A and B are shown apart, each in its own frame.
Chain A
C-alpha cells in the first residue's frame, strides 16, 4: 500500500478505477434490459399468486393444521440467514482490521439489504390476515418472540441500509461530479441529492469514519440477535426437533455459511459480467474460500451437537423425528444438505485449486442450495410428528408438500431479492471507489477534483 507521490499518476489511476467501477452503471445493453424484464415478470407472477392466496385463503397452500408453517417460513429463515453476512463481512471483519474484505463489504451489504427486506415481506405473505398487520403495533405483546423478531429485523434493516449508504456518500459525490451526460438527468439528480452536498474535506471524512465505526459496532448485537431470535421462534416451543438449547448459535453458524456462499456467487457474477477481474481478484476468492471452510467447520460442530447428542439418547419423540431425518422421508434432503453443503465443500476448499473463482462459485451454489434444504428440514419434519397422533383428518393433513401457489410466491421472493441486488448494482458502484482508491495509495485530495473532460 505505497503512497503514489506523482499527481499525474494518481489522477490517471483514479480515472481508471472510476471508469472500471462505473462501467455497469453507464452501460446500456439489451441483456441488462432483458434481465430486468425477466425479474419483473417473475415478481409479477409471484404477486399474482399471493393475490389468489389472499382471496381464497391459506388453504391454497399445502399447509394444514399439523404442518402449519411451510416453505414460506423455511424461506424466511433462509433469507434471515443469508442477510447475516452483512454483519460478518462489513462489520465484524472490518473492526478486526482484515483488509482484504474491504472490496467485498458492499456486496455483502447489498445481499444483507435484499435478504432482510424479503424476509420481512415473506413473513407478511405467510399471514392468514395480512390486512391486520397493524395489530402487531396496536396490540403487540412483548412476551411474544414474533414481536422481538419484528423489532430486530427492522432494526437490522435500518442499520444495514445506513451501513450501505454512509460509505456510499463520497462515491455518490464522485458519480455526481464525473458521470455528466453518461447517465440520464434524473439519475444525476438522485446522486446529487443523496450525496448531501459532499465536498470531500477532511472533516467530512472524519464524520463518515466515525459514523461507520458506530454502525459497525451497533450492528454486532443486532446482527447476532436477528438470527438468534429467529431460531427462538422454533426453540421457544416444546416440539421435538425444535426444543433445543443450541438453536441460537447453530442458526448463526449456519447463516455465516449460507451468506458467505451467496457473497461468493454475487462476486463472481460481477467479476464476469462487469469485467472486474482486477477488483474481485483471485486472492479475494481464495480468502472467501478460507472463510467458508472456517464457518463450515463451525457449523459442522453445531450439527454434530444438534443431531448426535439427541441421536445418542433417542428419546421417544426426538427418536421419531431423527429416524425420519436419518433414514425416513427426509433422508435424501438431509444427507444432500450435509454431504454437498458441508462435508464435501470443507474437504475440497482445503485445496487451493478449488478456491479459484469458478470452482469455488460452483461449490458455493451447492452450499446455498443445501442451505435452503436445511431450512426446509428444520421447519417442516418436526411438525409432521407432533406428540399426539394425527387422526380423523384427510390424508393431506399428514404430509406436507408445497403447492404451485407456494412455489410461485417462493420464486417471487428469490427474484425480488435478486431484483433489489440488481437495482443497487445498476445505480451504485459495487465496490467503494474512494476506499479502494485509498487502498491503492491515491491521496484523498484527488477525489474532490473535478476531472477536466
Chain B
C-alpha cells in the first residue's frame, strides 16, 4: 500500500514538476544517485497544489516508464474501460476553473484550450448558455482518419490520443475536426525550459513540443491512477460527470456522487454535439434547463474578486 502511494506520488510529481515550477530535472537526476535515506528533506508541490515535505531518497524517477513503454501502453489504453463524460449545462456559470486546471496540467499557454467554455446561442431568440467544450472523443473521429502518420489515434478505452513524438505538424487534423478541439504549438510551449529533459508522457501530452498538435485527452494519465480528469475535479459547480460506460457509472467531479450513466442521460434528455455529422461523440450534454446560475455574458472573474 505504501509503495503504491509512493509510485502514485512519483507520477504526479513527474507532471507537476514543470507546472509548479518548483523542481527541475536536475533535482531528479541528483535523486537518482542518492539511495539510502539521507535525512535531507525537500518541499515539493503536488498536482493538487499541496506543499509537502519528503525525503530526497524517496524521489525515484526510475519508476516512471520509459518513453517506448509509455508510448506502447498509451496506444493500448486502459483495459476494460470505456470512458464517457457528461456535461450538465444547467450548472455551468463560466467559472473557468476547468480551463485553468487543464492548462496547468497540460502545459498550455493562456490562448491554448483543451477545454473551452463557450457562450452559445442556438438561434436568434433562444436563451444563451455556457458550454464547456472538450474534445468529443468521437467513436468515429474525423481527425484520426486523416492523420498521415498515425500520430493521433483511437484507443480501445475510447480516448483519442496524440503522440507528439511522431506528429509531423501537417495540421490536417485541425482542418478535419468539426468541433475546433485541436490546438497547435505555434511557438515554444509554455515553460519549455522547465520541462527540459522530462520524459514525454503520451497520456498527458507533456512536455508539449513546438510544431506539434495537442488537444484534450480526458487526462488519460490521471485515469491510469484511478483519478478523475483535471477539469472534472476542478469544477466548483458540479458540471462534470465522468466514468466508465462499461460499468454504467459516472462520478460527479464536485460532489463525488456516483450515478448510473444510462439513467443520467435518459432522465435528463442528454444529447451529443452535432450528431448529424456522424462522429459519435463520447461527451454527452444535459440541456441548459432550470439553470443554477444566470447567463452573464463575458467571463466574470469569480476567483479574483
Contact = CB atoms under 8 A, between A and B. Distances in A.
Q: Do A and B come from one complex?
A: yes
Interface of A: 56-59, 61, 63-66, 68-69, 126-130, 132-133, 135-136, 138-141, 143-147, 150, 233-234, 236-239, 242, 383, 386-394, 397
Contacts of A392: 99, 111, 113, 116-118, 299
A130 B169 CA distance: 8
Contact of A57 (B111, B167, B183, B187): B187
Given A146-B170, A233-B172, A57 B118 contact: no
A65 B179 contact: no
B111 A135 contact: no
Contacts of A58: 169, 184, 186, 211
Smallest CB-CB A-B distances: 4 pairs? A128-B169, A128-B211, A59-B186, A146-B148
Nearest to B187: A59
A393 B111 contact: yes
Contacts of B26: none
A391 B145 CA distance: 27
A129 B211 contact: yes
Interface in B96-136: 99, 111-113, 116-120, 133
24 contacts: A56-B187, A57-B185, A57-B211, A58-B169, A59-B187, A65-B184, A68-B175, A69-B171, A69-B175, A126-B170, A127-B170, A128-B168, A128-B210, A139-B166, A141-B148, A146-B172, A150-B148, A233-B175, A234-B175, A237-B146, A386-B178, A389-B118, A392-B113, A392-B299
Contacts of B187: 56-57, 59
B283 to A, nearest CB: 13
A206 B87 CA distance: 73
A63 B186 contact: yes
A139 B149 CA distance: 5
A155 to B, nearest CB: 17
A135 B176 contact: no
Contacts of A65: 112, 174, 180, 182-184
Contacts of B166: 132, 135, 139
A394 B277 contact: no
Given A135-B166, A393-B111, A238 B184 contact: no
A238 B278 CA distance: 10
Interface of B: 99, 111-113, 116-120, 133, 142, 145-151, 166-172, 174-176, 178-180, 182-188, 210-213, 274, 277, 299
The dominant DSSP class at the B interface is loop
Nearest to A393: B111
A237 B176 contact: yes
B274 A387 contact: yes
A237 B213 CA distance: 18
B180 A66 contact: yes
B93 to A, nearest CB: 15
A90 to B, nearest CB: 31
Nearest to A238: B178
Nearest to A394: B111
A238 B142 contact: yes
A122 to B, nearest CB: 13
Contacts of A126: 170
Contacts of A236: 146, 176
Contacts of B175: 68-69, 233-234, 237, 239, 242, 383
Nearest to A66: B180
B120 A389 contact: yes
Contacts of B147: 141, 144
Contact of B149 (A68, A140, A389): A140
B210 A57 contact: yes
Nearest to A128: B169
A133 B175 CA distance: 20
Contacts of A233: 172, 175
Given A57-B186, A128-B185, A238-B277, A146 B146 contact: yes
Nearest to A134: B168
A244 to B, nearest CB: 14
A386 B185 contact: no
B178 A57 contact: no
Contact of A136 (B111, B149, B184, B185): B149
A381 B273 CA distance: 23
A52 to B, nearest CB: 13
A61 B168 CA distance: 17
Contacts of A56: 187
Contacts of A238: 142, 176, 178, 277
Contacts of A61: 186
A145 B175 CA distance: 13
B295 to A, nearest CB: 14
Nearest to B178: A238
Nearest to A232: B146
A387 B179 CA distance: 7
